[in-house]
Every structure is written in structure tokens, then in C-alpha cells.
Amino acid sequence: MTRLSVNINKIATIRNARGGNLPDVTKAAVDCERFGAEGITVHPRPDERHIRYSDVREIRPLITTEFNIEGNPIPSFMDLVLEVVPDQVTLVPDALDAITSNAGWDTLKNRDFLTEVCSEFRRKGIRTSIFVDPDPAMVEGAAFCGCDRIEMYTESYAAMYPADKDAAIAPFIRTAEAARQCGLGLNAGHDLNLDNLGFFIRSIPWTDEVSIGHAIISDALYMGLEQTIKAYLSKVKIF
């Protein structure tokens, strides 16, 4: 069954906008787990505009559910991951000035680099996932890099879903099938929400994990965090 990992970056964004420690990011991580989240995701960036490296260190011993750290494997990020040793690291090729993740890896052009990174994390027993666009060729390239999973970048699915959900999901089904044929686990994330998540999971029921942050925190403003997490869990636990 698909697991729900809650990305808490946006909670850190609110805290950082005012300074101090309100809301408390570490408490939010613990609360998300208590409310049923099956994973906690953080995506620290070098400028620490939301999740800080210190947050990552503080959260790690406080949660018992899966801990997933996303980011571009620059040296400081790699050092952090190797220090903290999360359950999973998701490699994302985001530029230093990116507002949010906006593309997957070209796993063919970056094969040597990604192979080296995956090998280093594997030696520490960390499951490695590579963020890719919905393209079977990129999945096959990822498999050659030695990763354990791929995460499909789902922005295009979310954008097309209101107009034509079948056309929106088609390239993701092909990509997911390629991952299964390559023996890779399958994650997904970016712009998934209560409207489009259920159809995604029904169409690709072998999805291992979805990582959702912006939509969950936005919905929580109206529904409360506990009820929001329960609502999202109902969308992934449909089989």
C-alpha cells in the first residue's frame, strides 16, 4: 500500500517569516507522525529559507516513522545526509535560486555523478531515490546509477488533470511500468492534492510513497493538520 510522507517545509517557511520558533517545526514533525503520517520529508536548501540544516538534525531522533531528506547532492547536503542517516534520500537537481523543484534529473547525462552519489549513500545503508520527469528513458538511466527508487515529478499531471485526467496520467503509467520492469521502487510528488491524488493511486497502485507538502499545509489552514492528514490517508488507502 502507498505510504504518505508529509513534507513540512512550509511550516518552516512560516516560522522563518517572523523569526523565533513559532510554529515549532520539530513539534510539527512529531505531530504529523502522531496524526498518522507514515513519513516525514524535509528539503533543506543552501540558503535555509525554510528547513534549516539544524532542523534536520533535531528532527531525526524525535520521529520513529520514515525520514526522507530531499535535495541537490552538493557537498554540504551530502555531509548532512551522511551525518543524520535518514531512511531515504531523494536526489533533486534544483538550482540554488529555485523557488521549488521544477525538473527531474537527466540520468543519462549525469550518470557518472549520480552513480557515485548513490554508491556513497548505499554504503551508509540509506535508500536512494532519484527525482525524474515522466520519461521511461530517465527511469532506465536511473536504474544504471544504482538507486533503489525513482520519484516521479508530478507537476505536469496536476496541471493537466482538471482538463483531461486520462491524458494527464498516461505518461506516468508508462514511467511507472518502466520502473517496475527495472526493479525500482516508485515514489511520486509535487502538486498532488485531495482532488487528484486518489485517481493517481488508483491508476498506479504499486506506488510505494507519495510526498506532499504545500497542499497539505494549505488545506490544514482550513481543516486542521490532524484532519487534513487523515483526509490524505483516505486517498492513498483505497485498496
Give the active site residue among 33, 38, 66, 70. 70
Q: Where are the alpha helices (DSSP H) in 148-223?
A: 155-160, 165-181, 197-203, 214-223
Identify the CA nearest to 34 among candidates 46, 26, 44, 45. 26
Coil, strand or helix at 168: helix
Give the active site residue among 33, 43, 66, 151. 43
Give the active site residue among 33, 38, 151, 190. 190
Residue 54 host element (H or E): helix 53-59
Whether residue 43 lies in the annotated active site:
yes
Residue 5 host element (H or E): strand 3-7
Distance CA 5, CA 2 (A): 10
Torsion of CA 10, 126, 180, 186, to 10 degrees: -10
Contact 71, 107 (CB under 8 A): no
State how far Cα 224 lies from the chain centre.
22
Distance CA 231, CA 215 (A): 12
Among all residues, which ones are annotated catalytic?
43, 70, 190
